[in-house]
Structure 1
Amino acid sequence: MTPIPTGAVLVVDDDDSMRQAIQRLLNAAGLKTQTFASAEALLDGGPVAGAACVVSDFKLPGLSGLELLTELRRRGRWPPVIVVTAHDTPELRAEAMRRGASAYLSKPFHGKDLLEAIDAAVDPGTLP
């Protein structure tokens, strides 16, 4: 288990190329990141309380991105969660927001939109 760096953006996506692309984007913007291929891997990866936020795909093997959001809240961990999906529907968007997602982005999205969502979700001073 690798400790989760304080202030890191945690990226959860089962698609290797998408996960790496998001990580490269965030690293290029000067953000610390840690990536996970599943919600379970993140939940088993150690305390997330010091994370700046979580960027999670909706459709994952095992727990979905919304189930991850719910589980983090159940465990008393409150990093902001940004849900991204290629399966956009008005119902899914509404459910994500009802569960407390900080933002919801449809794939494909512009890198600028993700960076703006992270900036809006994260407490000032949490990110470099």
Structure 2
Amino acid sequence: MKDTEQLIIVIEDDAGMRRALQRLLRVSGFEILAFESTEAFTSVNDPRVPYCLVLDVQLPGVSGPRLYEQLVRPRPPVVFITSHDGPATRNAVTRAGGDELLSKPFVAADLLDAISRAVLRSSQP
């Protein structure tokens, strides 16, 4: 059984991107739970605390930043991903408390580095 401290939750509405993220993170040694929307994520009652979240900014219904704002503190580290980078997106991510934002398409190493930075940042006092 894998260590649940390495659980990454991915919320991405594009099915192809979601599958690619699942494959990348799984081969990188993480356990993955992936959802197509914030509503699908919130309907699952999984008590584990994720190692990190990977949230698409523009989702149908509740956006990634809005979901992150609503999570109970202390919140897990987060990496936001978007295909619509710009001042409004960056402001939404910053207001939500996110420090990591990647623009699609990105290379695998950039996502893994962003996860490492987010987790490291969250572990500092």
Q: What is the TM-score of this pair, normalised by structure 2?
A: 0.85
Please give the per-residue CA displacement for 1:58-115, whole angstroms capped at 9, x wherever unaligned: 111110111111111xx33501121100011023113312321131010111110000
**Which residue of 1 is the match for residue 55 of structure 2?**
56
Secondary structure of the residue aligned to 2:68 is: helix
| Identity between Structure 1 and Structure 2 (%) | 39
Q: Counterpart of 2:6 in structure 1: which amino acid?
A: G
Q: Determine whether 1:87 maps to 2:84.
A: yes
Structure 2 unaligned runs (5+)? none
1:40 Cα deviation after fit: 1.4
Within 1, Cα distance between the matches of 2:60 and 2:32?
Answer: 21
Q: Determine whether 1:43 maps to 2:42.
A: yes
CA contact (8 A) 2:83 2:104 kept: yes
Within 2, Cα distance between the matches of 1:63 and 1:92?
Answer: 14
Question: Which contiguous aligned blocks of 4+ residues in structure 1 show a shift greater than 3 angstroms?
Answer: none
1:27 Cα deviation after fit: 0.7
Match of 2:94 among 82, 92, 97: 97
Q: What is the TM-score of this pair, normalised by structure 1?
A: 0.83
Within 2, Cα distance between the matches of 1:71 and 1:7?
Answer: 22
Alpha-carbon RMSD across the aligned residues, in angstroms, is 2.0
Higher helix share: 2
